[in-house]
């Protein structure tokens, strides 16, 4: 009876995921990568790189994307193992991940664009901006991970410990479910998040990405954003050792006159609490 119950639960999950249909499916290395596009028809593109372990980047960052969609074309990419994208057998290192992102952008026919990233997406953005600097017009960071691993070690160690114990609700530690605004929780998107969480969270791609966190940060430790790329970094001040966190980001700041740092009184998920402030600043910052 237990076997039939488990089988029925799995079938229900599969049916739930199959019923979800958001985003555009892009072929990347023979696999399906899901992409959410907001503001179709606008000329200026912003490509969004997700934070590590976000269940569905498209749904999670949707509110911010919609607030920018009146002026920009926002492209939120769900990397392999996230949201409705396929799983890959390729190693989850920085080189492979930014290459997959870039292939997706190319398949969409986007030539020039701004990068925007949240949390650990900042590590990928740093590598991406150096690898494809001729394509990147500017960079927008949302409380991103700095290139110094010691600044992130307590969070990452906590994540690894939970993974080793088989606890799947790491999303709470990253501020994913807990920090969703109440109005957002009333939307059908919340149900979609729960379906994807049950079906996809802690899959091999996400787990291996977590366990390689230190290696990934170390791989970009000598990099800075090229001077040709202006940056605007939004940082949340509600955290331990904020001054150290701020200093690490200032060290990454380049010599571009358009580069700025904006400190907001908020937590790691600034894009919820300070959506309008961030949106307004981006609109005045992009020339």
Phi, psi (degrees; rounded to nearest 5) at 3: -60, -45
| 51 vs 161, residue with greater confidence | 51
Tell me the pLDDT tens digit for each residue of 53-84.
888 899 889 999 999 999 999 999 999 999 99
What is the predicted pLDDT for the residue at 21? 77
pLDDT score, position 148: 76
Q: Average model confidence (pLDDT) for the chain?
A: 83
- Walk me through the domains of the chain, giving residue ranges and CATH numbers: 2-285 (3.40.50.1820)
Spell out a b/e string for 10-37, using b for 16 or more CB atoms within 10 Å of the CB, else e: eeeeeebeeebebbeebebeebebbbbb
| Residues with Cβ within 8 Å of residue 275, at least 6 apart in sequence | 63, 64, 67
CA 259 to chain CA centroid, Å, is 21
| pTM (predicted TM-score) | 0.84
Q: Does 272 have pLDDT greater than 80?
A: yes
Q: Identify the residue with better confidence: 132 or 160.
A: 132
Q: Which of 127, 123, 122 shows the shortest CA–CA distance to 102? A: 127
Q: Which of 158, 20, 160 is nearest to 78 (CA)?
A: 20
Residues 184-230: pLDDT tens digits?
554 666 677 777 766 676 789 988 898 888 889 989 989 999 999 99
Q: At residue 164, does pLDDT exceed 60?
A: no
Burial (Cβ within 10 Å: 0-12, 13-18, ≥19) of residue 88 = buried
Residue 147: its pLDDT value, please? 84
Residue 64 CB partners (closer than 8 Å, separation 6+): 271, 275, 278, 279
* Cα–Cα dist 176/180, whole Å: 7
Single out the residue of 125, 121, 123 nearest to residue 133, CA to CA: 125
Q: Where do we find the tokens 């179709």?
A: 40
Q: What is the pLDDT of residue 7?
A: 35
Strand runs labelled E in the chain: 24-28, 31-38, 45-49, 73-78, 113-118, 136-142, 231-236, 260-264
In this predicted structure, the answer to whether residue 128 has a pLDDT above a threshold of 80 is yes
Query: 285: which DSSP letter?
Result: H
Q: How confident is the model at residue 5 (pLDDT cuts 50, 70, 90)?
A: very low
More confident call, 237 vs 70: 70
Sheet of 113-118: strands edge to edge? 24-28, 31-38, 73-78, 45-49, 113-118, 136-142, 231-236, 260-264
Q: Residues 96-124: pLDDT tens digits?
A: 999 999 999 999 999 999 999 999 999 99
Who wins on pLDDT, 17 or 199? 199
Compute φ and ψ for 75, nearest 5 degrees.
-115, 105
C-alpha span between 116 and 246 (Å, rounded):
18
> What pLDDT does 268 receive?
86
The DSSP H or E segment spanning 83 is none
């Amino acid at each position: 009876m237990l076997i039939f119950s488990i089988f029925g639960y799995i079938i229900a999950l599969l049916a739930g995921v199959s019923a979800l249909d958001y985003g555009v499916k892009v072929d990347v290395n023979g696999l399906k990568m899901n992409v959410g596009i907001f503001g179709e028809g606008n000329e200026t593109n912003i490509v969004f790189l997700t934070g590590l372990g976000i269940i569905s980047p498209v749904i999670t960052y949707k509110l911010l994307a919609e607030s920018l969609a009146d002026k920009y074309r926002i492209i939120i990419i769900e990397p392999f193992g996230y949201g409705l994208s396929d799983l890959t057998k390729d190693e989850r290192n920085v080189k492979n991940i930014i290459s997959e992102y870039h292939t997706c952008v190319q398949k969409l026919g986007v030539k020039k664009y701004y990068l925007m990233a949240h949390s650990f997406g900042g590590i990928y953005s740093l590598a991406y901006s150096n690898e494809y600097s001729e394509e990147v017009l500017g960079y927008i960071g949302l409380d991103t991970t700095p290139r110094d691993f010691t600044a992130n070690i307590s969070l990452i160690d906590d994540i690894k410990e939970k993974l080793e114990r088989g606890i799947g609700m790491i999303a709470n530690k990253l501020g994913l479910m807990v920090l969703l605004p109440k109005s957002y929780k009333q939307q059908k998107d919340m149900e979609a998040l729960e379906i994807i969480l049950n079906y996809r969270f802690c899959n091999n791609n996400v787990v291996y990405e977590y366990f390689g966190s230190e290696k990934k940060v170390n791989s970009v430790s000598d990099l800075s954003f090229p001077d040709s790329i202006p940056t605007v970094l939004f940082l949340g001040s509600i955290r331990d050792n904020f001054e150290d966190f701020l200093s690490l980001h200032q060290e990454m700041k380049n010599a571009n006159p358009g580069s700025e740092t904006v400190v907001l009184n908020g937590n790691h998920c600034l894009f919820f609490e300070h959506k309008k402030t961030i949106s307004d600043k981006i609109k005045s910052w992009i020339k």
